[in-house]
Chain A
Amino acid sequence: MLEFNKGKDGEVIRIRDLYKSFGDLKVLDGVSLDVYDRENFVVLGRSGTGKSVLIKLISGLLTPDSGSVKVFGHEVSALNKYELMELRLQIGFSFQNSALYDSMSVRENLEFPLEHNARHLTRKQMKQSVEAVLDAVGLLQTINQMPSELSGGQRKRIGIARTLIIRPKIMLYDEPTSGLDPITSMEINNLINEVRERFNTTSIIITHDLTCAKTTGDKVAMLSNGKFIKQGTFEEVFKDNDERIKQFYEYKFID
């Protein structure tokens, strides 16, 4: 049995000198970061800079070429299959396109992780759990709908609800506001903050949406060419004179 305690400096996730390439393409080139308990850590960057790869490495979906990824003090790449499954129960991963199971209704989508990971629960307890978490994301009325009947914003919320149902301690959000209108985006941003308050989660939010970064992030890191060029609060990062950061900020408002 793994233990899930904070590291000696209070960190929940610690990454050191992380390198990852796909064939000839170097995606992460020596990334280091610390994420502390109940912190919302935002990773900003242009498309294709390796932001999603970073959280896939944290959840063990990918293995690094070199470097260290520690979650609750456990080196992810050193865990065996069963330990990794145990660790993943502490991690909720909200995918960019929600990744809802098309062939299942909203209720079945939410019951599915419970049926496999909480076999001791009765049908009644499962039903209560599903309804509670759907209520938390404000979509209890969609319980019997199919994913194809939901709007983009609803799909994102259901995707978040599905990850929350196993009560993770860490949430990884991959582009939570991409493809959404500004109002729905703001609702998702508020939901991310609510999830932290209600479920005491530590989060990494991958985004290129500055509003999302500003609204949700306690700490922001700017990723460019596989490296973090600046880490700090939103204001600290965007006060920097680095051309790449300035460009990112200015183009956002030209758009």
Chain B
Amino acid sequence: MSAKSPRKFLISKKVDAFFSDITSASIFTLRFFKEVFRPPYEFREVIKQCYQVGYRSLFLIALTGFITGIVFTKQSRPSLSEFGAQSWLPSLVAIAIIRALAPLVTALICSGKVGSNMGAELGSMKVTEQIDAMEVSSINPYKFLVVTRVLATTIMIPVLMCFTGFVAMMGAYLNVHANEQTSMTTFFIAAFDKISFLDVFSSLVKSIVYGFTIGMVGCYKGFNARNGTEGVGRAANSAVVLSMFLIFMEEILLVQVTNYLR
């Protein structure tokens, strides 16, 4: 093998690599919209992935949601007590959970559990040539691996978000009931008094966006893994870091849009 003259870069090696990565990520994302509507449809694999994403995250999501509900209620009580506004506690907790905590906590937990799993699984398939094996068997690996997983996260994260919201509200109720002996009916009437359709709708939209982001980032990082097992670890790690970062960026943006509509 002979070496050519050193390669020239447009700006610098790192800056070129950064823009090249953004370009390939954009192409990778746009390809989803092209492939998702094109037959053949992999319904069975989508259902399998929905099971993986949904059912397997359920316990962790339930535990985290429950603790979030209890802790948030417990921490908010002293501040409200100072103003003698303890009766506002259910509505305050409901607004916080439904508008922000449920979608965000679900997305962050799932980006850790599901995103890293996708990054590692696809990364491992990439470095062991399983993705190439699909391609040479005339099977579209993007359609079978990426489209199905992104659809699964986009469908299941909103479902998990609803579940997180419910469990967190139950945690909040138990705390309120233990301290103020409030009945369940009174608690939930007070809680949902201040909740509008826009609150629920915006949370659903947010969780759809987060679900898409988690699936897409996990798959992108896995699909582009290289350098053996070290690359698989890096793919899993960067899938979590990048999807969390993007979720916070999207949260900022979507909150602005929702506040504008309110």
- Considering only residues 109-135 of chain B, those with a C-beta below 8 Å from chain A are 124-125, 128-130, 132-133, 135
Residues of A within 8 A of B12 (CB): none
Residues of A within 8 A of B2 (CB): 26, 29, 225-226
A61 contacts partner chain B, Cβ-Cβ < 8 Å: yes
Contact between chains at A225 and B139 (CB < 8 Å): no
Residues of B within 8 A of A216 (CB): none
B interface size (C-beta, 8 A): 22
Q: Across the two chains, which residue of chain B brings its CB closest to A55?
A: B136
* Among A27, A29, A61, A102, contact of B136 (Cβ-Cβ < 8 Å): A61
Contact between chains at B136 and A25 (CB < 8 Å): no
Contact between chains at A117 and B137 (CB < 8 Å): yes
Residues of A within 8 A of B139 (CB): 112-113, 116-117
| Contact flags A193-226 to B (C-beta < 8 A → 1, else 0) | 0000000000000000000000000000000011
A88 CA / B144 CA spacing, docked (Å): 17
Mark the stretch among B3-11, B55-63, B216-224, B233-241 that contacts chain A.
B3-11
| Contact flags B1-42 to A (C-beta < 8 A → 1, else 0) | 111111100000000000000000000000000000000100
| A-B pairs with beta carbons under 8 A, tally | 77
A248 contacts partner chain B, Cβ-Cβ < 8 Å: no
Contact between chains at B128 and A99 (CB < 8 Å): yes
Q: Are A48 and B129 also in contact (CB < 8 A) when A24-B7, A88-B136 are?
A: no
In the complex, what's the smallest C-beta–C-beta distance from A148 to chain B, in angstroms?
A: 12
| Contact flags A42-68 to B (C-beta < 8 A → 1, else 0) | 000000111000001001010000000
B75 contacts partner chain A, Cβ-Cβ < 8 Å: no
Contact between chains at B3 and A25 (CB < 8 Å): yes
A interface size (C-beta, 8 A): 36
* Among B3, B5, B129, B137, contact of A97 (Cβ-Cβ < 8 Å): B129
Q: Across the two chains, which residue of chain A brings its CB closest to B44?
A: A115
Q: Across the two chains, which residue of chain B brings its CB closest to A96?
A: B129
| Contact flags B203-222 to A (C-beta < 8 A → 1, else 0) | 00000000000000000000
* Among A24, A102, A166, contact of B137 (Cβ-Cβ < 8 Å): A166
A99 CA / B129 CA spacing, docked (Å): 6
Contact between chains at B132 and A117 (CB < 8 Å): no
Q: Are A225 and B7 also in contact (CB < 8 A) when A101-B130, A166-B137 are?
A: no
Contact between chains at A86 and B132 (CB < 8 Å): no
A191 contacts partner chain B, Cβ-Cβ < 8 Å: no
Q: Are A24 and B132 also in contact (CB < 8 A) when A85-B138, A116-B138 are?
A: no
| Contact flags A76-99 to B (C-beta < 8 A → 1, else 0) | 000000000110110101011101
A93 CA / B136 CA spacing, docked (Å): 7
Contact between chains at B133 and A27 (CB < 8 Å): no
Residues of B within 8 A of A48 (CB): 1
In the complex, what's the smallest C-beta–C-beta distance from A72 to chain B, in angstroms?
A: 15
* Among A23, A95, A225, contact of B132 (Cβ-Cβ < 8 Å): A95
In the complex, what's the smallest C-beta–C-beta distance from B38 to chain A, in angstroms?
A: 11
Residues of A within 8 A of B132 (CB): 56, 61, 93, 95, 99
Q: Are A116 and B1 also in contact (CB < 8 A) when A95-B129, A102-B130 are?
A: no
Residues of B within 8 A of A100 (CB): 130
In the complex, what's the smallest C-beta–C-beta distance from B220 to chain A, in angstroms?
A: 20
A17 CA / B136 CA spacing, docked (Å): 24
Contact between chains at B136 and A24 (CB < 8 Å): no
Q: Are A97 and B128 also in contact (CB < 8 A) when A24-B7, A59-B136, A86-B138 are?
A: yes
A49 CA / B135 CA spacing, docked (Å): 24
Contact between chains at A117 and B136 (CB < 8 Å): no
Q: Across the two chains, which residue of chain B brings its CB closest to A24?
A: B4
In the complex, what's the smallest C-beta–C-beta distance from B239 to chain A, in angstroms?
A: 18
A184 contacts partner chain B, Cβ-Cβ < 8 Å: no
Q: Are A23 and B7 also in contact (CB < 8 A) when A97-B128, A99-B128, A225-B2 are?
A: yes
In the complex, what's the smallest C-beta–C-beta distance from A114 to chain B, in angstroms?
A: 10
Q: Are A93 and B133 also in contact (CB < 8 A) when A102-B124, A113-B139, A116-B139 are?
A: yes
CB-defined A-B contacts under 8 Å, sample of 16:
A24-B7, A25-B3, A26-B1, A26-B4, A27-B1, A61-B135, A88-B136, A112-B137, A113-B138, A116-B40, A116-B138, A116-B139, A166-B137, A225-B1, A225-B2, A226-B1
A interface residue numbers (CB < 8 A to B): 21, 23-27, 29, 48-50, 56, 59, 61, 85-86, 88-89, 91, 93, 95-97, 99-102, 112-113, 116-117, 119, 162-163, 166, 225-226
Given contacts A93-B132, A102-B128, A162-B133, 10 further A-B contacts (CB under 8 A): A24-B3, A26-B2, A61-B135, A99-B130, A102-B130, A112-B137, A117-B138, A119-B40, A225-B1, A226-B2
